[in-house]
Amino acid sequence: MIWASWSDFWHMGGYGLYVWGAYAVCLAAMLGEPWLTRRHRRQALQAAASREETSP
Amino acid sequence: MISAFAAVYARDLRLALRRRVEALLPVVFFIVAVSLFPLGVGPEPQTLRQIAAGVVWVSALLASMLSVTSLYAGDHADGSLEQMMLSGHSGFEISAAKAAAHWTITGAPLVLAAPLIGLLLDMSAQALGTLVVSLLLGTPVLSLLGGLGAALTLGLRSAGVLLILLILPLAIPALIFGAGAVSAVDSGQSTSGHFSLLGALLILTALTAPLATSFALHIALE
Amino acid sequence: MNPPIRWSTFAAPSRFYQLAGALNPWFWAVAVALAIAGLYVGFLVAPTDATQGDAYRIIFIHVPAAWMSMVLYLAMAFWAAVGWMFNARMGSMLARALAPTGAMFTFLALWTGSFWGKPAWGTWWVWDARLTSELILLFLYLGFIALQSAIDDVVRGDKAGALLAIVGAVNVPIIYFSVRWWNTLHQGATISMTAAPKMAQTMLLAMLLMTFAFWAYAFAVVFTRAQALALERERDTDWVRALAAKG
C-alpha cells in the first residue's frame, strides 16, 4: 500500500479536488448512460405492447 | 451545345443578378460582423492588428455558410433540382457548377471586400495582401464544403444553423492555413508552406466535395 | 461437424436483439472486473509521480476515454457505411447507437483533460493539439446526431448520416494535421498532453486495464441502445410483438 491512511488517500497529495472531480463526473456519466439506455429499451418495449392493445 | 456545368452556372448567376440586394447580403453581413469585434475588444490598433486575420477569416466563413442554403433551396422548392438530377447529367458536374456559382456570387465579393475590412482593423499592406490571397484560395473551399452541407440539409427545419454546425469543423483546416499565412507574414516568416497547403486543400476539395454533394442530393431527393 | 456461423445472420434485427441480450451480462461483468482491477493498480499500486504528484492519476480515465472517443467514431462511420452499402438497417442502427456513447467519451476526455491540466499547468483549458482535436471531434459527433435527429424519414437519416460520418472520418487526419500545424506555429504550448509522465510499468498496466474496461462498457451500452432502436424501428414485426406480449 502506498497510502499511509484513508485521509491521505482522499487528499491525493493536495490534488484531491482535481482527481475526484474528474472521477466523479466519469462515474456519474457511466452510471447515468446505462440507466438511460435501459429506460429507453424498456419504454420501446412498452410502446410496442400498447400498440398491440390498440391494433391486434 | 454548352455543357451542363456552364448551363447551371450561368443560370444561377442570372438568378442572382435579378436579386442583387439579396446577393449582396453576405458581404454586408461580413462587414457588420467584422465591425463588431473592435466594439467588443476595444479600438486599440495593436490588438486589432493581432486579431485581424482571424476575425476576417471567421467572418468570411460565417458569411459564406449563411448564404449557402439558398444554393439548393430555391431549386428544390420549385422542383427544378429534381429535374436537374434526373436529367442524366452528372451530379458531380451540377454540384461543381453550383459551388462555382456560389463562389462567384458570394466568395469573390468577400475577397474584394477584404482589403476594406483590413484597413478597418489597421492591417499592414503586406498582411493585407497575404489575407486577400489566402481568401482567394480559401473561399472556393468554403463554397464547395457549403454545397455539401446544403445538400445534406436540403428541406430540413433549421437547415441554416444545422449546416453551420456540420460544415464548420470541416472548414477548420482552411481557416488555420488561411489565417496562419497572415500570422506568418506578420512575424516575418514565409507564407509558402501555408499557401501550398491551402492550394492542396483546394484541389482535394474540388475533386471530392462535388462527388459527396452529388450523393447527398440523391439521398435527399429519394 | 457444425457449419461455421454465418455472421450476416445478425443483420436481422431480431437475431441481433437476441445476441445482444445474451452477450450484455458478460460485457458488464468484464467491464466491472477490469475496472476494479485497473483502479486497484492505479490507486493502490502505482507510485506517486515525481513531477505531477498524485494529480497524474486522472490519466487512468483520461486516456481510455480519449481512445474510446476515437475508436467509436471510426466504428460509427464503419457501421453507417455498411448499413448504406448493403442496405442493412441493423448496421445503420448500430451507428445511431454508437454516436451518443462516443460523444459522451469525448466529453469525458475533455473534462478529465481539463481537470488534469489545471493542477499540472495552471489553466482549466489548454489549446494544445490533442485537446483541440478532441473538441473538434465532439463537434463532429454532435453534427452527426443533430443531422439524424433533424431528418424525420429514417432511411434518409441513415444514409445522410453515413455520408456525413464517412466525410468526417476522412477529414479527421486532415483536421488533426492542421491543428498540430496551428499549435506549433503559435508556440504557446510547449506544454502538451503528450508530455505524459514517464510511465512506470504499473501506470501502464492500470491504463491498459481501464481501456479494456471502457471498451467492454461501450459494447454493453451501445448494444442496449441498439436493442432499443431495433424495438422502435421494428415495432410492427412479429418478433417485437411477441416480446412485447411477454412483457
Residue C53, helix vs strand vs coil: strand
Q: Give me the pLDDT at residue C65, please.
A: 97
The residue extents of the domains of chain B are 4-221
Question: C192: closest CA among C126, C108, C116, C98?
Answer: C126
Assess contact for C104 and C69: CB atoms under 8 A.
Answer: no
User: How many domains does the structure of chain C reveal?
Assistant: 1
Full domain range(s) for residue A29: 16-48
Encode pLDDT of C167-224 as tens digits: 999 999 999 999 988 887 775 444 455 555 567 888 999 999 999 999 999 999 999 9
Residue C14 counted as domain residue: no
- From C139, C167, C174, residue closest to B173, measured CB to CB: C174
Is residue C10 situated within a structural domain? no
pLDDT in tens, B97-146: 999 999 999 999 999 999 999 888 989 999 999 999 999 999 999 999 99
Which residues from chain B sit within 8 angstroms of residue C155, using beta carbons? 222
pLDDT tens series, chain A, 56 aa: 678 888 888 888 888 899 999 999 999 999 999 999 999 999 999 998 887 676 65
In whole angstroms, what is the distance from residue C210 CA to residue C197 CA? 17
C32 vs A contacts (CB less than 8 Å): none
Residue of A nearest to C117 (CA): A18
Is position C30 within any domain?
yes
Inspect the interface and report whether the beta carbons of C167 and B148 lie closer than 8 Å.
yes
Pair C213, C38: CB distance under 8 Å: yes
ipTM above 0.90, yes or no: yes
Q: Does C61 touch chain B (CB under 8 A)?
A: no
Is C241 within the bounds of a domain?
Answer: no
Domain membership flag for residue A26: yes
Coil, helix or strand for C90?
helix
Size of chain A, expressed as the number of residues it contains:
56
Nearest to C240 among A15, A26, A48 (CB): A48
> What residues make up the domain containing C45?
23-221
pTM: 0.93
Nearest residue of chain C to residue A13 (CA atoms): C54
Cα–Cα distance measured from residue B10 to residue B97, given in angstroms and rounded to the nearest whole number: 9
Tally of structural domains, chain A: 1
- C-alpha of C32 from chain center: 17
User: Is-contact B134 B195, C-beta < 8 A?
Assistant: yes
Could C57 and A12 be called an inter-chain contact, meaning their C-beta atoms sit closer than 8 Å?
A: yes
Q: Is the pLDDT of residue B16 over 50?
A: yes
Residue C247: list chain A partners with CB under 8 A.
Answer: 49
Contacts of C136 in chain B (CB under 8 A): 169, 172
